[in-house]
Every structure is written in C-alpha cells, then in structure tokens.
Amino acid sequence: MSRLVVVSNRLPLGDNPSGGLVVALDDALRSSGGLWIGFSGEPVDDPADALIDHPGAAFDRLSFDLSPEDHHNYYLGFSNSVLWPICHGRADLSHLDPIYLDGYRKVSARIARLMVPHLRPDDRIWVQDYQLFALGAELRKLGVRNAIGHFLHIPFPAPAECATLPNPAELFDWMMAYDLVGFQARRDLDNFAASGHHMTGMEQTDENRFALGGRTLRAEVFPIGIDARSFVEEARDAPDADRVRFLTNARLMIGVDRLDYSKGIPQRFRAFQQLLDKIPDLHEQISFLQIAPPTRSGVQAYDDIREETEHLAGRINGQFATLNWTPIRFINRPYPRQVLAGLYRQARIGLVTPLADGMNLVAKEFVAAQDPEDPGVLILSRFAGAVEQMPAALVINPHDAHETAAAMASAMRMSKAERKSRHQELLSVVLEKDVAWWSAAYLKALDEEAAQDALTE
Ligand code: ADQ
C-alpha cells in the first residue's frame, strides 16, 4: 500500500497528542504508518534549509523551521489575521497587508521545496487546513504528480465573505491543484460552489465535481469525529478529585473553548446574565464553568476578546454572587483530556455556542462523556458544523441572548426521559462517525481519485 504523508501547520512532538486534529491524524498514521510533516513550533533566527527528522514515534516525523519574520507574516499575519477571521465571517477583524500574503506564498513555496526530496512516487499526500491552502499548487509547480488532498477544518467563506479576501481568484487556483478537497459540512461545500462560481466562473459538473481552467476537482463533505470510545472510557474513569465542588446544590453548566472570538463566549456570558436576571429561582441552582485558554496572543483581536470576557465575568459575578455561590468560574488554562471528560460528565448543560465553527469537537466530547442513564443536555449553536449531524441538541442562535437563556432554563427543567432520548440519538452519531471513520472515508476517496488519475495518464 502506498505511504500516507500528512502535512499540517503544527507537528506534535510531545508523547501525548492532544487537540482534535492532532489526535485524528495520529490515529490515521499509527494504523497505516507514514510520514507527518509540520512546523517545529517556535520561530528560530536561523532556520535550517532542510526538514529535520524526529525519530521515536510510530511513524516518521519531519519538521520545518520558520524565521520570526515568516512566522509573523505567514502564521500570525495571513493565516490568522486574514484567512481565519474571513472564514469565520469576521472580515471586520481582518488586517489586509500585502506583506502577509507575500509571506504566505513564500512559506508555502519553501515548504514544498523542502518536501520534494522526501517524496516517493506513490505517496498519498494529505494537506491540512487553511494555513496550507497554497501548498498543493506549489508542489505541482515543482512537478509533483502524486495524489494530493486537502481537508479544511474551518468554514469555507460564502461569496460576500470571499469577496473580502485580497486574492479570491488565487484561492480557487490553489484549491484546483488538489485531487480531493474535504469540508466539514454541507454548508461549506455549498459555499465553495457558490463562491467559486461567483469569483472565477468555476463550474459544478456533478454533485461533487468542479471544473476551472481545464482542471477538475472532487470536493466532498467528511465531518470530522472524535476518538469516541476512548472518550467514553475516560469520562467513566475520571477521578472524583477533579470534579467541581459547590456549597449550594447547584448544577454545573460547562463551556470549553480556545479563547477565540469565533466561539461566542461573550454572547454566552450575556445569555447567562439574562437567565439570572429573568429567573431569580435559578440563583444558587446553576453555576457556569467556562474553561478557555488564550491562543494566538500578539494578535490584537485575541488580546481584545480576553479583556472583554474577563470584564463581563467580573461584572456578572459582582452583580449576582452570594457568600456561597459564584455564578461564573472563568479559567484561562488548558486541562488534561481526562479532567475535561470528568467535568463534562458532571455537567447538566454543555454550552457550545460559536458564532461560526468548522465542526466543534467539544460538542461531540460532551455527548460521549455523559452517563447514558442520567445525561446532561447539549446546547448547540446553529453555526457549528456539528449541528448538521446533531439536530437532537437544543439548537440556538448564539446572537439571541433570550433564546439562549430560554434553552438554559429548559435544559435545567428537562425530564430525564427527554434527556435520555436526545442523548441516545446524539451518541449514536458520535460513535458511528468517529475519527477513524473520518480518516478512512477521506483516504478512500483520495485513493479513488489516485486510481482515476492513473487510468487517464
Ligand atoms: P478548534 O477551533 O480548536 O478546532 P474544537 O473543534 O472545539 O475547536 O477543538 C478544540 C479541542 O481542544 C477539543 O478537543 C477540546 O477538548 C480541546 N480543548 C479546548 N479547550 C481546552 C482546554 N482548556 N484544555 C484542554 N483541551 C482543550 C478546529 C476548528 C473546529 C474543528 C477542529 C477539528 O475550528 O471547528 O472541529 O479544528 O477539525
């Protein structure tokens, strides 16, 4: 069988892979063997002009270095101050600077050049996410004819959002270099079709086939999953010592997110404030734990969201707290997976309310962690990709504080029978469409495209 080569922005070098993408790909590579290429993690003044080997894993690992300038322009700049906000519907937070786009092109070309000596003719190459949109096109420029696929973990922008990119036509040029493009949700495939047509005249020739400038592409939806069975076990075996203790008989409501403006954390705080304002009976009966470690510090919008959320949490606690009850606990640091699993299981409500999100794995982790005999309730934004698979959650519009507060109240009151039946429906999809299903489905489609190419050559 041909080798799998995964390329992602970050190469996990620790012993315990964490984070949705990393665990997913770690599993795929462990089962098939192969090579993982990614950024070494910290910018260095004198980057090596070669990939660096990291032996000691079940598969091969090669990293590339970035200079501080490249890291700034390609990663903090074009990736996280242009593509991320625009793909999440926040063009108002984007910083369009031609230096960023140049840096992105330059780093993509450099990664491609460093990769080529390591490639074998029958390798399947699987490129991950928005930081590496351009990698396929750069590899093609260097004559790489292997099957190359891309998977986008975040939303694909609709036409009006795409038009706010500095280079919408170039984005589609980059995409067309791939044999297969995977999206999280139907919504993204629809946006890809509409935006491509609008920006470049790209034609949809079949449900999953697109043509532009003499090139064709297969694009399809592969909703990412979690390692559900191991999560179920971790939640069941989580130590009691790591539970939240209350002085009143409050129930726990939990949110777990990177501190990112796309996750709707201030909106969720305001909805909670609304709930406490409207239903005084719930005072001391519900306690909200928000775990949100900061990311991408140095990007202004991330520093701003931190200040806004800290301010809101302080104000709500100041307004409602009693001697025995703190309405919101706001914690800015990461926790081990098993601690999170135990906290999810303890919670009566899981709050997953992004304003835009590719999938959202926390929604799936929360469901997997529940006790099936007495499960908690998932409140889920209609803007998370996960909603397409999880309509049995309480689905809300996160911009609507009234609706979100009403969902919190109804989750607090919900009968055990209804909680169990909703949970059963949610759990069956989380177990069935797990991470192994995701990578197998994607790689099967990529193999089909490789076989097709071989026939037409
Ligand atoms: P993210 O935006 O990072 O991922 P998400 O899918 O929720 O969002 O994954 C976050 C992961 O980090 C989860 O596994 C969660 O448990 C973990 N995590 C969050 N806070 C943590 C904390 N305090 N401590 C420890 N772990 C924490 C991107 C896209 C998503 C898409 C994923 C995977 O934005 O839409 O679902 O990739 O494709």
Please compute the mean of the pLDDT values over residues 79-90 and round it to a whole number.
97
244 and 393 co-located in one domain: yes
In ligand 1, the atom with minimum distance to the C-alpha of 362 is 7
97 and 198 co-located in one domain: yes
By residue range, what is the domain housing residue 125? 4-225+436-456
Q: Which of 306, 359, 438 to mutate to test the pocket of ligand 1 (most atoms within 8 A of CB)?
A: 359
153 and 55 co-located in one domain: yes
In ligand 1, the atom with minimum distance to the C-alpha of 155 is 35
In this predicted model, what pLDDT tens digit does every residue of 362-383 receive, in sequence order?
999 999 999 999 999 999 999 9
Q: Does ligand 1 come within 6 angstroms of the Cβ of 153?
A: yes
In single-letter form, the type of residue at position 193 comes to A
In ligand 1, the atom with minimum distance to the C-alpha of 361 is 6
Active centre residues (catalytic): 153, 357
CA 363 to ligand 1 center in whole angstroms:
10
Q: How many structural domains are present in the chain?
A: 2
Whether 212 and 204 have beta carbons less than 8 Å apart is answered as: no
239 and 154 co-located in one domain: no
Please state, in angstroms and rounded to a whole number, the distance separating the CA atoms of residues 28 and 128: 13
Q: Evaluate if residue 20 carries a pLDDT over 80.
A: no
CATH code at 190?
Answer: 3.40.50.2000
Q: Residue 242: pLDDT band by 50, 70, 90 thresholds?
A: confident
143 and 285 co-located in one domain: no
In this predicted model, what pLDDT tens digit does every residue of 224-240 receive, in sequence order?
999 999 999 999 999 88
In this predicted model, what pLDDT tens digit does every residue of 262-298 receive, in sequence order?
999 999 999 999 999 999 999 999 999 999 988 877 7
CA 185 to ligand 1 center in whole angstroms:
17
36 and 90 co-located in one domain: yes
Q: Does ligand 1 come within 6 angstroms of the Cβ of 291?
A: yes
CA 26 to ligand 1 center in whole angstroms:
15
What's the pLDDT at 415? 98
419 and 317 co-located in one domain: yes
82 and 126 co-located in one domain: yes
Q: For residue 264, what are its two tokens? A: 């709707």
Q: Does ligand 1 come within 6 angstroms of the Cβ of 361?
A: yes
313 and 204 co-located in one domain: no
0.95 exceeded by pTM = yes
Residue 129: other Cβ atoms inside 10 A = 19
Please report, to the nearest 10 degrees, the dihedral formed by the alpha carbons of residues 240, 241, 242, 243 taken in order.
60
Whether 61 and 36 have beta carbons less than 8 Å apart is answered as: yes
Per DSSP bridges, beta strands 52-53 and 60-64 are antiparallel
133 and 247 co-located in one domain: no
Q: Does ligand 1 come within 6 angstroms of the Cβ of 296?
A: no
Please compute the mean of the pLDDT values over residues 90-96 and round it to a whole number.
97
204 and 245 co-located in one domain: no
CB contact burial 344-358 (16+ within 10 A = b; e otherwise)? bbbbbbbbbbbbbbb
446 and 427 co-located in one domain: no
CA 256 to ligand 1 center in whole angstroms:
8
Which residue has its alpha carbon closest to ligand 1 atom 28?
Answer: 153
What's the pLDDT at 450? 87
Q: Residue 19: pLDDT band by 50, 70, 90 thresholds?
A: low
In single-letter form, the type of residue at position 299 comes to V
In this predicted model, what pLDDT tens digit does every residue of 393-432 receive, in sequence order?
999 999 999 999 999 999 999 999 999 999 999 999 999 9
Please compute the mean of the pLDDT values over residues 39-46 and round it to a whole number.
93
